[in-house]
Structure 1
């Protein structure tokens, strides 16, 4: 990853409060990939243990709908991350990420991250802590969205399905 240095990643939320030395160690562990506009980086249901960081360009996050379509969830720009859930909790990706423009991403895979963990690196702790903050922010936004749906009286699908979802959200799902 010789082309990039710690200074290139200073604005990435998962690297907040890292020293230049810590961040450079992480940068040295990452690989770089380029995608053309419209190219899929990963699909919903794939399983990759990688955190991607957008260096240049924009990516679109979409989710399959029950009727076979897809719904746009987000557009992510420079220094935003994706793939965190499958990185920390091995499971299939819950959405598809596509390059909206030509995009360059840095990839940090779990095995390389664990090399930091095995060394007792503070960088690993900071990445984990900061990623929790990023994911919590997204969860808070989802909670707000769901709250607005409930307040409006809308049901996004059948009333029965919505009721089952609400009942399971905190009581039945095992984490």
Structure 2
């Protein structure tokens, strides 16, 4: 067993159950050869209940895959309060935003139960890219699917919030302007 939050031995292909392979978007559509390459880069990490895994405002370029337990994603809303954004179950992937773009985490992730995770440091992913591996391509495509799904859910949520404020049409106009600029003027 690894010490709290410290990577233990590398993962072996046998550690990836068929259920995890089906439930985790990151592993979907990977060939056995690609999965074998990815597995050599993963580390197993365990955290006890109520432990912060990612802290909002800090920056670590690491991808996390929840293989056992539950976590919550929380956002600080004021000096003392937090808003729960999501509860993560087995197969969930997190840390993807700062994995590709160095910068502070936009939210914290905390264990709700004792958890076991796989971690993929960005440096090891970069080594996979340098080899020209199709596994690196598959990871990028699957992470793009995850980010796209989350963005679509966020769009739906924001639209519902804006539409619920009919007595304040200014917010609707602000949202329409923001959305228009996001898709037409911003260049990444």
TM over 0.5: yes
Q: TM-score, normalization: structure 1? A: 0.88
Match in the other structure for 1:107? 119
Partner SS for 1:10: helix
2:82 is aligned to 70
Aligned match for 1:141, one of 150, 153, 157: 153
Cα 1:55–1:4 change in 2 (3 A) is farther
Summarize deviations over 1:15-71 as a string: whole Å, max 9, x none: 211111211211111111100000000110110101100011011000011454110
Match of residue 130 from structure 1: 142
Give the corresponding residue for 1:5: 13
Which ranges of structure 1 fall in alignment gaps of 5 or more residues? none
Shift of 1:169: 4.8
Q: Aligned-pair distance for 1:152?
A: 1.3
The structure-2 alpha-carbon separation of the partners of 1:23 and 1:34, relative to structure 1 and needing over 3 Å to count, comes to: same
Tell me the C-alpha RMSD between the 2 structures.
Answer: 2.4
- Equivalent residue of 2:91, what SS? coil
Corresponding residue for residue 28 of structure 1: 40
Whole-angstrom distance in 1 between the partners of 2:11 and 2:145: 28
Whole-angstrom CA distance in 2 between matches of 1:170 and 1:28? 43
Aligned equivalent of 2:71: 59
Which stretches in structure 2 are left out of the alignment for 5+ residues?
1-8
1:138-157 superposed Cα distances (whole Å, 9 cap, x missing partner): 110110001111221169xx
In the TM superposition, residue 91 of structure 1 has moved relative to its aligned partner by 1.2
1:88-103 residue pairs with structure 2 within 5 A?
Answer: 88-103=100-115
Q: Partners in 2 of 1:36 and 1:159 — Cα distance?
A: 46
- Decide whether aligned partners of structure 1 residues 141 and 36 sit closer, same or farther in structure 2, where only a CA change above 3 A counts: same
* Alpha-carbon separation, structure 1, partners of 2:187 and 2:82: 27
Alpha-carbon distance in structure 2 between the residues aligned to 1:4 and 1:117: 20
